[in-house]
Amino acid sequence: MSTIGNSQKGRKRRPRSHARPSAAAAALQGLRGARMTDVANLAKVSAMTVSRALRHPAIVDPETLKRIHGAIEATGYLPNRIAGSLASQRSNIVGLIVPSLRNSLFAETVKGVADTLGDAYDLLIADSGYVLDREEAAVAAFLSQRVCGIVLHNTKHTPRTRRMIQSAAIPCVETGNLVRCPIDMAASFSNHKAAYDMTAYLIGKGYKRIAFVSLPLDDNDRARERQSGYLGALKAHRRAIDRNIILESAPGLRGGAEALIELMKKRPRIDAVFLTGDVLATGALLEANRKGWRVPDDIAIAGSDDNELQEYVSPPLTSVRFPRYDIGCTAASMLLKRIDGVPSAERVVDLGFQIIPRAST
Amino acid sequence: MSTIGNSQKGRKRRPRSHARPSAAAAALQGLRGARMTDVANLAKVSAMTVSRALRHPAIVDPETLKRIHGAIEATGYLPNRIAGSLASQRSNIVGLIVPSLRNSLFAETVKGVADTLGDAYDLLIADSGYVLDREEAAVAAFLSQRVCGIVLHNTKHTPRTRRMIQSAAIPCVETGNLVRCPIDMAASFSNHKAAYDMTAYLIGKGYKRIAFVSLPLDDNDRARERQSGYLGALKAHRRAIDRNIILESAPGLRGGAEALIELMKKRPRIDAVFLTGDVLATGALLEANRKGWRVPDDIAIAGSDDNELQEYVSPPLTSVRFPRYDIGCTAASMLLKRIDGVPSAERVVDLGFQIIPRAST
DNA sequence: TTGAAAGCGATACCAG
DNA sequence: CTGGTATCGCTTTCAA
């Protein structure tokens, strides 16, 4: 019957070790590690009511709500989502895997996803380094973390990756290429068609010998699609295909510059180059400027993945614009719809692309 | 006494709704949602032994281990880290907050963190949009998620942000600027000194009227530090300070281009500009090229955050190089050390920077 | 080297 | 509108 207070009810148990760094300090600050029960005791309600106050405030008495919020404030309570997720069997974490965190292309998509997810969801990110096995490992890690959805940039996967995601039965959107048979859903554009259209555009402008440069095709389904789009356009227009002017290049400005140099050395008769991927086209253009090769008179240059830089160089680059930010937004919103149980319209969404003609061709 | 099998022991309970999408299908595939108990039953051991097999294989009998791995394979078991984290009171998720996911500067640091964390930790990422209140919200979300450590790019925070992190008592590294009093730890370089040194370098090259352009100082401690470094160098060299040639610019190539135009219009007598932040310097250089202003004869241009592009434009840009990738690596490794209980050496690590003189000055 | 029991902190369900 | 109770799936502890 002490008159000291009823603090008894609040803190009991915790017999396992878990040594909290000084219960005294915690009490002093009234902050460290308050649990829902602590809030409940302070507000003279049950933990359940606190839980409701947080999740469905509308069905809680306004007065009660006020007391609870006061208690939350006083204790510095931060809900434990680990416990919440375990109990409710649902998490609010979305996983995203890109081939490279460095590449600012992907940053656009990441930003679209993050913006669309908003405050209600958190974003787990991993980098597959363009390696399928690393993607698989990241997927396994994410599934262990029980993410509520996955966004993959890659559209080529190991069998186990597909199996794991399908078994987990969580929504998944692939964004790197418009695939016919997605694991689950896809939001993207057709790399094949983009390359086809750009090549056709160059042919239409009257260029006779058009070279093609991309990143290495190995494990890179996007690059592969683009090369096949280029080849398709040549065939459709009955142009000869010359394997000598089809290159795979290292990434970076230097990669593009070196590719151009090689092409000009080997086959001076080419009159146009389409460099797709990374910043290859910009690298080539800057190199042409340095060498004094006139663009487009000596050599026309077209790029892809349009950005502010391609618009600002001289001459500005003809390019294909991909809606990467929108793709991120769309991917996230497809995920959210599924999570919210909205009957899904389409599983594969084509966001298209746009050829931007400029002075370099 | 059925002779059908002992599958009885495996699947019982689960009376709450949680309707798993068809237990039959699950059984068929033998995959969906196996729990540790299921693995244990199949391997004829207790769940505890499975747990040990996963976490401390060395202390489990090799034969037992083999059976357990077989069972894991057969069931497609993926450990549930939510449950694991709740039980062990520790998570393996690190949280990272950058001002902008779009900016490739930050991508370097993100990559450094991700690479260093390796497979044992997952990375939660948020974007504060350069707004302190959004940083605070992200920190609250991360703490709710019970991250085991936090990396912040910002070094200016709301009081509540600091309080939350300190109360949570988890390791935290700030990376955007070398702060004297970090919340916990810091790994960075001095923005002040970098700007000071670059300004002094320009003075040493004989430039008389040096303009300064940065991103808006508002809520941006890095930009603030850089401006003060510039001012400090001018003072130290007894140069007059002219507020008319100190600009805050919008980001992007366009921002840099417009800043240069404004400076040339207003004060044609300036002979050098130091543009720091984003891609401002590159934008200015490209604009100078377009306008036919000779660099460095008409106007010298220096930048910061050196990258491949600054090296490739003509003339190549004098710049300051920041070790952003290393900063990410260092930040992550400081976090890991603390998590592993390694007695921490220094709380603040200065990674330095490097002035790269090129033809633009 | 292995197992049984008791939590971790929240939520679902049902009763009041 | 509110509370009691039984889990969620794993790890800690302690005993065998």
pLDDT digits 0-9 by tens, A61-84: 999 999 999 999 999 999 999 999
Q: Any atom of strand D under 7 A from CB of B18?
A: yes
**pLDDT score recorded for residue A18:** 40
Distance (Å, rounded) from C-alpha A57 to C-alpha A162?
40
Report CA(A183)–C1'(D7) in Å, whole number. Answer: 33
Residues of A in contact with B251 (CB under 8 A): none
Residues of A in contact with B104 (CB under 8 A): 102, 104, 107
- Residue B3's Cβ-count burial label (10 Å; 0-12, 13-18, 19+) is exposed
Cβ(B351)–Cβ(B333) below 8 Å: no
What are the tens digits of pLDDT across the range B68-113? Answer: 999 999 999 999 999 999 999 999 999 999 999 988 888 999 999 9
Report CA(B7)–C1'(C3) in Å, whole number. Answer: 20
DSSP A127-171: E-TT-HHHHHHHHHHHHHTT-SEEEES-S---HHHHHHHHHHT--
Cβ(A283)–Cβ(A253) below 8 Å: yes
What does pTM read for this prediction? 0.90
Residues of B in contact with A127 (CB under 8 A): 111, 114-115
Which residue matches tokens 């932040």?
Answer: B277
C-alpha angle A171-A172-A175 in degrees, rounded to nearest 5: 150
Q: What is the mean pLDDT of chain A?
A: 90
Inter-chain residue contact A253 with B119, CB threshold 8 Å: no
Write out the two tokens for B15: 């009376």
Distance (Å, rounded) from C-alpha A95 to C-alpha A279?
27
Which residues 65-124 of chain B have a CB under 7 Å from nucleic chain C?
Answer: 83, 86-87, 89
**pLDDT score recorded for residue A105:** 85
Q: Any atom of strand C under 7 A from CB of A55?
A: yes
**pLDDT score recorded for residue B109:** 95
Cis peptide before B171 (omega within 30 of 0): no
Read off the pLDDT band of B220 (50, 70, 90). Answer: confident
Distance (Å, rounded) from C-alpha A155 to C-alpha B97?
28
What are the tens digits of pLDDT across the range B1-10? Answer: 232 223 333 3
**pLDDT score recorded for residue A193:** 98
Residues of B in contact with A280 (CB under 8 A): none
- pLDDT exceeds 70 at position A4: no
Q: In this complex, which of B86, B289, B314 lies closest to A86 when CB atoms are compared? A: B86
**At the topology level of CATH, where does B21-79 sit?**
434 Repressor (Amino-terminal Domain) (1.10.260)
What are the tens digits of pLDDT across the range A137-162? Answer: 999 999 999 999 999 999 999 999 99
Inter-chain residue contact B286 with A254, CB threshold 8 Å: no
- pLDDT exceeds 90 at position A23: no
Inter-chain residue contact B82 with A80, CB threshold 8 Å: no
Task: Identify which of A166, A121, A40, A354 has the alpha carbon closest to the alpha carbon of residue B144.
Answer: A121
**At the topology level of CATH, where does A191-321 sit?**
Rossmann fold (3.40.50)
**pLDDT score recorded for residue A31:** 31
Rg (CA), chain A: 28
Read off the pLDDT band of A268 (50, 70, 90). Answer: low
Class (C level, CATH) for B88-189+324-352: alpha beta
Is A126 strand, coil or helix? strand
Inter-chain residue contact B142 with A125, CB threshold 8 Å: no
Q: Which nucleotide is nearest to B65 (CA to C1')?
A: C1
Mean local confidence (pLDDT), A36-54: 95
What sign does the CA torsion over A322, A323, A327, A330 have? negative
Interface test with A, best of B103, B161, B167 (most A CBs within 10 A): B167
**pLDDT score recorded for residue A321:** 97
- pLDDT exceeds 80 at position A344: no
Inter-chain residue contact B89 with A32, CB threshold 8 Å: no
Calculate the dihedral angle through the C-alpha atoms of A215, A220, A222, A227, rounding to the nearest 10 degrees.
60
The fraction of chain B above a pLDDT of 70, given in percent, is 91
Higher-confidence position of A58 and B11: A58
Distance (Å, rounded) from C-alpha A337 to C-alpha B70?
37
Distance (Å, rounded) from C-alpha B43 to C-alpha B34?
13
The fraction of chain B above a pLDDT of 90, given in percent, is 83
Q: Which nucleotide is nearest to A59 (CA to C1')?
A: D1
Distance (Å, rounded) from C-alpha A162 to C-alpha A164?
6
Higher-confidence position of B105 and A262: A262
Tally of CB atoms within 10 A around A35: 18
Read off the pLDDT band of A267 (50, 70, 90). Answer: low
C-alpha angle B150-B168-B117 in degrees, rounded to nearest 5: 25
Read off the pLDDT band of A247 (50, 70, 90). Answer: very high
**pLDDT score recorded for residue B23:** 37
The fraction of chain A above a pLDDT of 70, given in percent, is 91
Report CA(A45)–C1'(C8) in Å, whole number. Answer: 22
Distance (Å, rounded) from C-alpha A296 to C-alpha A201?
14
Write out the two tokens for A291: 């060498």
Range name among A320-329, B18-27, B274-283 with the lowest pLDDT average: B18-27
C-alpha angle B340-B326-B315 in degrees, rounded to nearest 5: 175
Inter-chain residue contact A125 with B140, CB threshold 8 Å: no
H/E segment holding residue A297? none
Among all residues of chain A, which has the CA nearest to that of B29? A167
For chain B, first and last CA: distance in Å? 91
Read off the pLDDT band of A22 (50, 70, 90). Answer: very low
- Strand-pair category, B185-188 with B210-214: unpaired
Inter-chain residue contact B144 with A108, CB threshold 8 Å: no
Cβ(B185)–Cβ(B344) below 8 Å: yes
**pLDDT score recorded for residue B268:** 66
Q: Which nucleotide is nearest to B84 (CA to C1')?
A: D10
Strand D nucleotides in reach of protein CB atoms, 7 A cut-off? 1-13
What are the tens digits of pLDDT across the range B131-161? Answer: 999 999 999 999 999 999 999 999 999 999 9
Distance (Å, rounded) from C-alpha A155 to C-alpha B341?
41
Contacts for B19 with CB less than 8 Å, ≥ 6 apart: none
Report CA(B274)–C1'(D11) in Å, whole number. Answer: 57
Range name among A4-13, A273-282, B92-101, B311-320 with the lowest pLDDT average: A4-13
Residues of B in contact with A124 (CB under 8 A): 93, 122-125
Is B300 strand, coil or helix? strand
Which residue matches tokens 């069931």?
Answer: B75
Q: What is the mean pLDDT of chain B?
A: 90
Give the closest-approach CA distance of B165 to chain A in angstroms: 10
Task: Identify which of B87, B186, B183, B81 has the alpha carbon closest to the alpha carbon of residue B139.
Answer: B183
- pLDDT exceeds 70 at position B305: yes
Report CA(B48)–C1'(D15) in Å, whole number. Answer: 14
Domain boundaries, chain A: 21-79, 88-189+324-352, 191-321
Contacts for B16 with CB less than 8 Å, ≥ 6 apart: none
- pLDDT exceeds 80 at position A25: no
Cβ(B90)–Cβ(B116) below 8 Å: no
Inter-chain residue contact A82 with B79, CB threshold 8 Å: no
Q: Any atom of strand D under 7 A from CB of A335?
A: no
Is B236 strand, coil or helix? helix
Residues of B in contact with A107 (CB under 8 A): 101-104, 107
Burial A147-182 (b: 16+ CB within 10 A, else e): bbbbbbbbbbbeeebbbbbebbebbbbbbbbbbeeb
**pLDDT score recorded for residue B361:** 95
What are the tens digits of pLDDT across the range A110-134? Answer: 999 999 999 999 999 999 998 999 9
Backbone region of residue B27 per phi and psi (left: phi > 0; alpha: psi in -120 to 50; beta: other values): alpha
**pLDDT score recorded for residue B267:** 63
Residues of B in contact with A137 (CB under 8 A): 119
Cβ(A310)–Cβ(A303) below 8 Å: yes
Give the closest-approach CA distance of A243 to chain B in angstroms: 29
Write out the two tokens for B259: 């800043």
Distance (Å, rounded) from C-alpha B128 to C-alpha B109?
15
Helix residue ranges per DSSP H, B145-190: 159-168
Q: Which nucleotide is nearest to B89 (CA to C1')?
A: C8
Identical fold between B21-79 and B191-321: no
- pLDDT exceeds 60 at position A19: no
**pLDDT score recorded for residue B6:** 33
Q: Any atom of strand D under 7 A from CB of B55?
A: yes
Distance (Å, rounded) from C-alpha B302 to C-alpha A81?
48
Read off the pLDDT band of A291 (50, 70, 90). Answer: very high
